[in-house]
Amino acid sequence: MALSDLTKLESKLYLWLCKSDFENVPWSTAKAAKAFNVKQDEIYEALSALTQKIPNDIQIYYENGSIRISADEQ
């Protein structure tokens, strides 16, 4: 799949992840939902979709008690 296969929210979230440092700064779904003016469930669904649609460009992992996310722009 390619970026053109992403929904509007998925695309915006992906670009935001690429520009952010959620490897050193712990991820917050609540803050992401507020930033995008959507429900937390929508953020969870978008993150899940990103890992399925562009699995080579996004990594989600757990470290030191927090979720970390790394995304590489295509």
Position 8 pLDDT exceeds 80: yes
Q: At what angle do helices 8-19 and 29-36 cross, to 10 degrees?
A: 120
**Tell me, what's the pLDDT at 69?**
95
Each residue's pLDDT tens digit, 24-74: 999 999 999 999 999 999 999 999 999 999 999 999 999 999 999 999 876
Closest CA to 44 of 56, 53, 33, 57: 33
Q: Give the pLDDT confidence score for residue 3 in this predicted structure.
A: 75
pLDDT of res. 5: 87
Residue ranges covered by each domain of the chain: 3-71
- The token pair at 11 is 């695309």
Count, in order, helices (H) and strands (E) of the chain: 3, 2
Fold for 3-71, please state it.
Arc Repressor Mutant, subunit A (1.10.10)
The predicted model gives 12-31 an average pLDDT of 94
